[in-house]
Structure 1
Amino acid sequence: MSARVTVRTRVHRFDATGEVSARADRLAGEEPLEIRLDGEEFTVAMRTPGHDVELVHGLLLAEAIITRRADVREIDFASGLGPDGSRNYNVARVRLDPGVHERRPPTRRQVYTSSACGICGTASIEAVEKQSAHPVEPPAPGRPLIDPAALLRLPERLGAEQSVFDATGGVHAAALFRVPGDGRPAEDPAAGRTTAAGTCPAGPAEPELLVVREDVGRHNAVDKVIGWALAADLLPLHRTILQVSGRASFELVQKAAMAGIPVLSAVSAPSALAVDLARDTGLTVVGFNRGRTFNAYSCTERIGPAAPPR
């Protein structure tokens, strides 16, 4: 684990009796990342260092600036220097494909975005709701995407991969799962053999964990996950589920919709605006998914037992 992802510190632990003990501890790293687009200031995002190329790709997709990997010609971190002159990689100079500016108007951002807010640097209310180049596919009637039991297992599967949280207790996490049925090989748990995924029922097969990312900002973790998928040319993410460790906020629904992700599952509550946006975009929002029960707030047709094989 990188020294910048977690930082060692010294703490004094108190109990109710007043007893004090000193001990070493680890904190989650948080540093600014300045992003410049073709020489112009775009934003400064507070994030946990690591997977920064993915973060930049995911953020630019969420802002409707890019729609594919080829839209980014180059990301250069060489100009990021610390106070002592050492390289800290905290400046990302992005060179976009010239066609990007022809397709879309420039997006204006304030200079600073905190780790707590993914859209607070957006310059206008109208710019908050973006038009996705990868629209969410509508639910297939009578063909649920995910079995409720499999969906309930996703938070535990995410938690098992949260190494930075285990060390610090101070980061959010996001995971992307792929549901069999998109033409890729998948394990058929009933038969114990590999089959063509398109012939497997959608529900009983366990979703495949594709990627997990952690960050002090929950929106950063999601940007890194989606940026990973964009860099791997996997968009649109039509048969996937995004599991997050916190609440389902408006900006997370928006980011999922921009990537074509049909299901966002959270361990905590969604906001009213998040549910409104999910209904508008046809996205399924699940909240309070904590291993035993969950609440579904929109497009519930994607959840249900799969039909038995014929």
Structure 2
Amino acid sequence: MACQNCQSQARLLVRAATRAGPSAPSSKRYLTTAASKATISPSSSSSSSSPSSTAPANARLFSTSHRKALFGGMASPYFVVGATERLYKFCGPVADYHINQKLRDQDEVPKLEDGEEVGESLNPGNPWHTLFNMPPTFSTWSHVTMLHLYLLNARIRCFDRDAFANWRQQLIDHFSFEAEKKMHVEHNITSSALRQRYLKDMFTQWRGIMVAYDEGVVKGDAILAAAVWRNLFKGAADADPRALAAIVGWMRACMKSLEGVSDEAFATRAGEVLALPVESFWQGIEKASKAQASAATAKPAVGSTTAGPVKERIVAEPIVGKGQ
């Protein structure tokens, strides 16, 4: 079933063809390319008896309009703006936060050791703040958002060149607008020049993040986990290795699922992929570690003097010896 945008575009084309009526030039004339028109002989082009020769010089031919421009598509600016705006809702609000205004007025906003202000999570149950113990700060929000944007960016590289450039720019614009808004509203940075300087630094950081994650995706999970540790956890010595393993597993699963989504369905299905709960990978790691721990406790140690296994081994050895 066609989408609403395709149906509306088809109706416009049908109405235009109906209004044109029988006086419209033949379809053969409309489908003729500019190159083929240049090869027409002078006698046929100068003939005035053919109705097709009376078409105005500025008539818009189907051959001069790309199919994607007529029906919309992955590179259509209006389509990309709306699609990226919807997809960004699966990226930005994931680890969103806000600064308590009362604490701001009393100048009592808590800060980390490096001076970064700590806010309150807008989604207290999200795993990034609770399970992975990442503070609700601007740095956490920006890096978690950029991690989601990286997964989308890795998939849209498969688009054609123009579509990829448009999608990438729109996603970055949504992130930049939200980041500047947080600087102004949440952190009281009223200087536009200062905000622009911070945004430039963030864009430089974004380019480095893409290179680091690309290297990890190609070289292996250990390199990818190191990139996650450096960026999301700021290289903290007390970072939980289970959190790194869960995030890396989630990234791999998302990229695999996005790879299976077609270009036409990407705008509607990519959000479902990003909504895959990262805590499920943590739970899988916890379950595996508990099972391994219980198996280690149940297994007797080497050289154990327990009666059961040792007695069975002693009785069995002479029988094997007699057979040989």
Please state which structure has a larger fraction of its residues in helix: 2
Point out the structure with max Rg over C-alpha: 2
More strand by share: 1
TM-score between the two structures when normalised by the length of structure 2: 0.21
TM-score by length of 1: 0.21
Larger RCO (alpha carbons 8 Å, 6+ apart):
1
